[in-house]
Amino acid sequence: MSKLIIEGKNKLSGEIKVNGAKNAALKIIPAALLSEEKITINNLPGIEDVDRTLELVRELGGSINLIDNGCEIEIKNIAKNELPLKIASKLRASIMFVGPLLAKLGEVIFPSPGGCNLASGAKRPIDLFISGFKKFGAEINKKNDSYHIKAKKLKGCKYFFTTATVTGTESMILTAILADGTTTLKNCAMEPEIKALSDYLNSQGAKIKGAGTPTIIIKGVKKINAGEFNIIPDRIETGTFAIMAAAAKSELTITDCDPKHIEILLNIFNKINIQFKVGKNYLVIKPADKIYPCNVKTHEYPGFPTDLQAPFTVLMTQAAGSSIIHETIYDRRLLYSDMLMQMGADIIMCDPHRIVVNGPTQLYGKQLTSPDLRAGIAMLIAGLIADGQTAIDNIYQIDRGYQNIDDRLRAVGAKIRRINTLKL
Ligand code: EPU
């Protein structure tokens, strides 16, 4: 067990590099199961969720060779059709293995996937995946918390997502690639990671059209070849660092990123008086004297990402006036606001989906526990601007998505250290 100790009110300065996107890496690794040849993945972030996903590949009989900043995966023969509970239940993206396993083996057993608990109910729903697999002709049995799915041969289908889902869209793409015939997916999510996954699979012989738009058409193919993939920059990490610099009223250069992927945030920065300079693959955030309030509503891409909602709320505690933050995707993703209130923020919870943030307020250092990945990083940002010391426990949740965050932030001037506490 480790915790982060942050001494607040230090300015940030210099350059911070953005790593490869977590939510692209978690999909591209399971996609390797579709090929029997070597897959090389570059710009792989060194984070907990990626380690767990690679562990799943090993469990399924794949060999992994770690290379500089990436890995090579080869899975000649898939050894089993069951995803182990102890890993799969920790990771929502474990469901990405199901389509390729069905295509290759015709049968798969998997537990309800885990991940951040962001929606009410014991776990985040997977109903759209299950109904999708059925459309491909799969038979599904659920016993306790485990699913058993069989499909002798997957058949291309027409599937309409009643809710746009990122992982759901990616999962159905992987399921369709080796299926017989053509699959048409409608009301798909449009996140850049979906297009990146499809572009890469097309370079290996897949036939996917329309990724990045609401309608995706996949023509089944017999085989997926060897390939090499560079993971796109993490747009959520980019946005997190941008918001962090703005909240700390600091000048920070964010490199190796794709500013186009956070267009919505940059447009909001224009409204709230955060100045910035944008290049093709970098972004410089300038310190603001006064930050204006702004109402924000989370939305599927290209709208405001739910994954930046908690960091943005911390920024709005420093704005002069009231902001309404409306979380439309998940109903448990505003619960961290209680912790911000303990730090001195003036927040009114209207209902599970909306809060009003009245600013500007001085935040004060506190002892906190990271509830989930994005709320955890929001607490870290709050700690950086707070008066006094903040201690954050349960930083496994932050390590799941941000590699060596303490080292990287120390390098740009943050007073932050990690201490390992013994489990008694
Ligand atoms: N939904 C259903 N049924 C389903 C699937 C989704 O009702 O079968 C609902 C969800 O409950 C939610 C909405 O659809 O209300 C959208 O969820 P989505 O499926 O798009 O989320 P996801 O694919 O599970 C990914 C990211 C999340 C990010 C969301 C939204 C990965 C591994 N995770 O989740 O990232 O918040 O898209 O952009 O790609 C994070 O990185 O911290 C994180 C949680």
Q: At what angle do helices 263-272 and 235-247 cross, to 10 degrees?
A: 10
pLDDT bucket at 116, cuts 50 / 70 / 90: low
pLDDT reported for residue 122: 56
Output phi, psi for 149, to 5 deg. Answer: -120, 135
Which has the higher per-residue pLDDT, 422 or 285? Answer: 285
pLDDT reported for residue 423: 55
With tokens 């023969």, the residue in question is 77
247 neighbors 315 (Cβ within 8 angstroms): yes
pTM tops 0.85, yes or no: yes
pLDDT bucket at 120, cuts 50 / 70 / 90: low
Question: CA–CA separation, 79 vs 59, rounded Å?
Answer: 8
Please say if 116 is a catalytic residue. yes
Separation of 285 CA from ligand 1 center, angstroms?
29
| Spatial CB neighbours of 351, under 8 Å, sequence gap ≥ 6 | none
18 neighbors 255 (Cβ within 8 angstroms): yes
Q: Is the pLDDT of residue 362 over 80?
A: yes
pLDDT reported for residue 67: 96
Question: CA–CA separation, 414 vs 157, rounded Å?
Answer: 52
Separation of 276 CA from ligand 1 center, angstroms?
30
252 neighbors 245 (Cβ within 8 angstroms): yes
Spatial CA neighbour of 305 closest among 360, 262, 367, 348: 262
pLDDT bucket at 286, cuts 50 / 70 / 90: very high
pLDDT bucket at 276, cuts 50 / 70 / 90: very high
Q: Residues 216-229: what's their mean pLDDT?
A: 97
Catalytic residue among 116, 157, 188, 294, which? 116
Q: Which residue, judged by its Cα, is nearest atom 36 of ligand 1?
A: 307
Question: CA–CA separation, 29 vs 231, rounded Å?
Answer: 11
- Percentage of the chain beyond pLDDT 70 is 97
Computed over every residue of the chain, the mean pLDDT equals: 95
pLDDT bucket at 124, cuts 50 / 70 / 90: confident
Separation of 361 CA from ligand 1 center, angstroms?
32
Spatial CA neighbour of 228 closest among 35, 26, 18: 35
In the DSSP assignment, the letter for residue 120 is: S
Question: CA–CA separation, 132 vs 26, rounded Å?
Answer: 20
**Half-sphere exposure in the Cβ direction for 410 (13 Å, CA):** 10
User: Hey, what are 312's tokens?
Assistant: 């943005």
Q: Is the pLDDT of residue 424 over 80?
A: no
Mutate to test the pocket of ligand 1, among 23, 161, 326, 336 (most ligand atoms within 8 A of CB): 23
349 neighbors 367 (Cβ within 8 angstroms): no
- List, as one string, the DSSP characters of 154-166: -B--EEE-SS--H
Q: Residues 90-97: what's their mean pLDDT?
A: 91
Output phi, psi for 227, to 5 deg. Answer: -165, 165
